[in-house]
A = this chain, B = another copy of it.
Amino acid sequence: MGSWQGYLDAHRDGAIEDLVDFLRIPSISALPQHADDVITAANWVAERLAQAGMEHTAVMPTGGHPVVYADWLHAEDAPTIMIYGHFDVQPVDPVNEWEHPPFEPTIEGDRVYARGASDDKGNLLAPILALEAMLTSEGALPVNVKCLFEGQEEIGSPQLGTFVEAHASLLACDAILNADAGQFSATQPAMGMALRGLCGVQIDVDGPNSDLHSGSYGGAVQNPIHALVDLLDAMRDEDGRVLVEGFYDDVLPLTPKDRRDIAAVPWDEQTYMDDLGVDALWGESGFTPRERAWARPTLEINGITGGFQGEGTKTVLPRTASCKITCRLVSDQDGEKIIEAITSFVQAHCPPGVRATVTSFGSGAKPYHVPNDLPVVQTLAGVLCEMYGREPFYTRSGGSIGTCAILLDVLGAYTISFGFGLPDERYHAPNEFYRLSSFFRGQTAYCMALETLAQ
């Protein structure tokens, strides 16, 4: 261990105070009324990086939510490592299900509860504190470091690709460590080797020009809710295989090795079901639940609304109904092609008497896959092995981080997951939390990783 560990140990209380400060900022990127809060979070991150000793700290415009950049480039002949994370967070609804207000961080034992605690503020702050520890205790970093922290990850990083292209030389690097990531468990490391892509649409079904009395008109006129239900049900078969024409055209089949790698990761179906409180899993036949969640595409309704929403009943035939859908994509699916396929499907299957409109939310992330034999993968696996006393599992994530594919395309550098969230931390859901033990482990791990990558 370097002298940085002493620094980290001595500054634990301050680190927690910093984390709590950071979590108080309601930086919800999806909601326009929180745009200023995302800027506040960006400024907070930039100031914390400067305080840590990083240089050229800047909040940079993107056309949407900003990016925070910083670097330290004085390690001659050493590689240049980029650290990536995001300071925006998911919306908080249903807010009445939170036990503590989502932006009033609450510490209970080893846990800090707040929106964004695990995804990704805790994981983003850990490497900043690692950089401070090394710069303060040793006066230098063992490698060149660039930080790229963004504020639009939770809405699919719509402007990040353009930003990275416009600043390709500023951002040039040899490898990227992704702090928006997690480990298999508190005792078992893992390296995430793949991410699913993402695209999204909204479907609006419009019927009569006014809400109608369901007694006067019911039976004669198409009900937009029923029409939407009909359209949506036609999109998947009874075990969840997507029936949208062309949906699977570009999906690379899982190889026997892919399936062995996935199966090698221990997983208990009953525990998984018990944790979720469901009595059965469900999905596309011919694949294990793990394969379905990690390596198969989905078409998921994220929200649906139409007609009367209050208490009791209202005998209305509503004039409109709508839903939001996102698809998780795998190599080599293309989000824009999938959105076109959904649009064509909706137009072809729209029931009579209503009009259906598909609005694209764009293709937020390409699917992404890291080759297992990449040298930086082997190096980081060694760090994890030293920290945990075990070889990491090589896992996948069903989630989407569009930046990985963008950075590979533009900078030619692979992004390797290196974060310390744990799977039960309710990211994207009420009562999200992060473990303080993971927070401290992450600080140590980043110091070790930068030392090892220098060799």
Most buried by B among A94, A277, A300, A324: A300
- The reply to whether the CB of A353 lies closer than 8 angstroms to some CB of chain B is yes
Hey, what's the 0/1 contact readout for A174-199 against B, CB within 8 Å counting as 1?
A: 00000000000000000000001010
Q: Which residues of B contact A156 (CB under 8 A)?
A: 313
- The reply to whether the CB of A352 lies closer than 8 angstroms to some CB of chain B is yes
Q: Which residues of B contact A213 (CB under 8 A)?
A: 399, 427-429
Are A353 and B225 closer than 8 Å at their CB atoms? Answer: no
Interface residues of A in 208-224 (CB under 8 A from B): 208-223
Contact check: which of B215, B278, B300, B400 meets A198 at CB < 8 Å?
B215
Nearest opposing residue in chain B for A222, CB measure: B282
Q: A310-B31, A315-B428 in contact; A397/B215 too (CB < 8 A)?
A: yes
Hey, what's the 0/1 contact readout for A335-371 against B, CB within 8 Å counting as 1?
A: 0000000000000000111100000010000000000
Q: Which residues of B contact A312 (CB under 8 A)?
A: 30-31, 155, 361
Nearest opposing residue in chain B for A283, CB measure: B219
Interface residues on A, range: 35 or more
Are A217 and B293 closer than 8 Å at their CB atoms? Answer: yes
Nearest opposing residue in chain B for A354, CB measure: B278
Are B423 and A216 closer than 8 Å at their CB atoms? Answer: yes
- The reply to whether the CB of A302 lies closer than 8 angstroms to some CB of chain B is yes
User: Of A107-115, A230-238, A409-417, which stretch is located at the interface?
Assistant: A230-238
Q: A298-B219, A428-B213 in contact; A238/B230 too (CB < 8 A)?
A: yes
Task: Give Cα A290–Cα B398 distance, bound, in whole angstroms.
Answer: 51
Q: Which residues of B contact A310 (CB under 8 A)?
A: 30-31, 91, 93
Number of copies: 2
Nearest opposing residue in chain B for A269, CB measure: B220
The smallest beta-carbon distance between A224 and chain B, in angstroms, is: 9
Q: Which residues of B contact A218 (CB under 8 A)?
A: 293, 298, 300, 328, 398
Are A429 and B398 closer than 8 Å at their CB atoms? Answer: no
Q: A207-B278, A302-B313 in contact; A226/B219 too (CB < 8 A)?
A: no
Are B223 and A300 closer than 8 Å at their CB atoms? Answer: yes
- The reply to whether the CB of A265 lies closer than 8 angstroms to some CB of chain B is no
Interface residues of A in 313-338 (CB under 8 A from B): 313-318, 321, 323-324, 326, 328
Are B315 and A93 closer than 8 Å at their CB atoms? Answer: no
- The reply to whether the CB of A281 lies closer than 8 angstroms to some CB of chain B is yes
Are A280 and B222 closer than 8 Å at their CB atoms? Answer: yes
Q: Which residues of B contact A276 (CB under 8 A)?
A: 208-210, 212, 217, 221
- The reply to whether the CB of A311 lies closer than 8 angstroms to some CB of chain B is yes
Are A226 and B398 closer than 8 Å at their CB atoms? Answer: no
Are B232 and A229 closer than 8 Å at their CB atoms? Answer: yes
- The reply to whether the CB of A441 lies closer than 8 angstroms to some CB of chain B is no
- The reply to whether the CB of A284 lies closer than 8 angstroms to some CB of chain B is yes
